[in-house]
Amino acid sequence: MSEALKPGARIGILGGGQLGRMLSVAAARLGFATHIYEPGANPPAGQVADRVTTAGYDDAEALAEFAASVDVITYEFENIPTEALDILEAHRPIRPGREALRVSQDRLTEKSFLRDLGLMTAPFADVTDLASLEAAIARNGTPAILKTRRFGYDGKGQVRLKTPEDAPAALADMAGAPAILEGFVDFTHEVSVIAARGLDGQVACFDPGENVHRDGILHTTTVPARLSAAQRTDAVLLAARILNALDYVGVMGVELFVTPAGLIVNEIAPRVHNSGHWTQNGCAVDQFEQHIRAVAGWPLGDGQRHADVVMENLIGADMDRVPELARERDLALHLYGKAEVKPGRKMGHVNRIQRNG
């Protein structure tokens, strides 16, 4: 732990949502103080952070002051403007590093990176105009999904094409944004691997979780996932290959489609991930602490779980169920302190601990 931050050091977190909030709590548990940088007022993470800076990513002065006040910088989301990163990096290390952000900020770059690593992805093609879209459809067929290359999350910025005739309308929906056409993958279920890599190159993976989505948003993650021993090994090796290729430091979420032909990488997120929330009640070191350990140069937890867990997201009006959930045995509530309930908004999650016997 020669390069390791000592308790008392300060960790800067870009983004004040629920992920920043849970990172902040994990950092505190290791004796670190956190400083949140967030453009929006009253961010959920601010309630459990030592300091909060409310400023935009175009505020060079605020960014520089923030960077100078901390020992290392990390983030809860990948769409941080390059110019902001340039300013921050002049002062303090950013972990995970720039390469991970560059790759994951753009679906086309990400898919190309994964393919070049020898990993399987959905068929994909760059779409710049109607001609390139029609050529992609001719090659990969329909149904297919047209997605913006950047700034998509939770199913936003996506249009499904049922037939080739849907092409013009789908392209219009992109409103001129660079896009990528992805072919459909015939998968039995989706799993994700929450993988971590330390400053010393050590890699540790949590047990894969099985994900179920509703309306394009993660609904539940169940651990253990339905996977054969061979698939489990494949999932871990594949995740390690991605982390090593990026010289990655921190936690990454790797979403995988399980198919008869093998595991297909759906997408990667260079941060703690919703499908890793189960680790809070299943592991001695959860994904949030694992991430903080990595960016602080500490040894990683080994990722082994001591309990099976089913995580369920609380979205929008699910908040009305809190009184009833609070009565449920072996259930751990995790609410995000968001002032306003909105449809589709992630308000919290619960972890149901599966008691053996």
Binding status of residue 108 toward a second copy by CB under 8 A: no
**Binding segment for a second copy among 19-27, 70-78, 110-118, 150-158 (CB under 8 A)?**
19-27
- Give Cα 2 distance to the centre of its chain: 29
Binding status of residue 7 toward a second copy by CB under 8 A: yes
Q: Are 88 and 142 in contact (CB under 8 A)?
A: no
Q: Are 189 and 210 in contact (CB under 8 A)?
A: yes
Q: Are 208 and 192 in contact (CB under 8 A)?
A: yes
Q: How far is the CB of 301 from a second copy (least distance, A)?
A: 8
Binding status of residue 326 toward a second copy by CB under 8 A: yes
Binding status of residue 304 toward a second copy by CB under 8 A: yes
| Residue placing its CB nearer to a second copy in the complex, 26 or 191 | 26
Give the count of beta carbons closer than 10 Å to the beta carbon of residue 226.
12
> In the set 32, 37, 57, 206, which binds a second copy (CB under 8 A)?
32
# chain residues binding a second copy, by CB under 8 A: 48
The three-class DSSP label of residue 286 is: coil
Binding status of residue 320 toward a second copy by CB under 8 A: no
- The CA distance from 12 to 251, in Å, is 16
Q: Are 241 and 256 in contact (CB under 8 A)?
A: no
**Binding segment for a second copy among 211-219, 227-235, 254-262, 319-327 (CB under 8 A)?**
319-327
Q: Which residue has the tokens 């390069």?
A: 3
Q: Are 32 and 9 in contact (CB under 8 A)?
A: yes
Q: How far is the CB of 274 from a second copy (least distance, A)?
A: 17
State the binding site for ATP. 107, 147, 152-158, 182-185, 190, 213, 266-267
State the binding site. 107, 147, 152-158, 182-185, 190, 213, 266-267
